[in-house]
Amino acid sequence: MAKGTRIRIAAENFIETWQKAGSPLDVAKALGTKIQSVKSRAAYYRKKGIGLKRFASSGRGAQPLDVSKLDKLAKSLAPKGEA
């Protein structure tokens, strides 16, 4: 497929694929599109009131940030005079 070519996927096909899939990546692969496009479309449909299922978190962002520890790390790595 040429760059910039849009894939047209009927809403019914998208919803059926989403509801049967195990993850957004599975949906993207099945429909031959990008994962970000799939996630955006699902969010749009939910905003409109369509009850699409939610997938379990992929693990990204699952761990809370230890802000104090990360701040100390950032300061220890900063150039002299900027910490």
What percent of the chain clears pLDDT 90, i.e. is strictly above it?
55
Residue 15 in domain:
yes
Q: In terms of residues, how long is the chain? A: 83
State the total domains in the chain: 1
Residue 40 in domain:
yes
Calpha distance 37→52 (Å, rounded): 15
For residue 58, the SS3 value is: coil
Q: Which domain holds residue 44?
A: 7-56
Residue 33 in domain:
yes
What is the average pLDDT across 40-44?
A: 96
Nearest CA among 25, 23, 34 for reference residue 1 = 34
Report the pLDDT value the prediction gives residue 1, as an integer from 0 to 100: 52
> pLDDT, tens digit, for every residue of 44-81?
999 999 999 998 875 555 567 788 888 888 988 888 77
Task: Give the rounded distance of the alpha carbon of 23 from its chain centre.
Answer: 10
- Residue 49 gets which letter from DSSP? T
Residue 82 in domain:
no
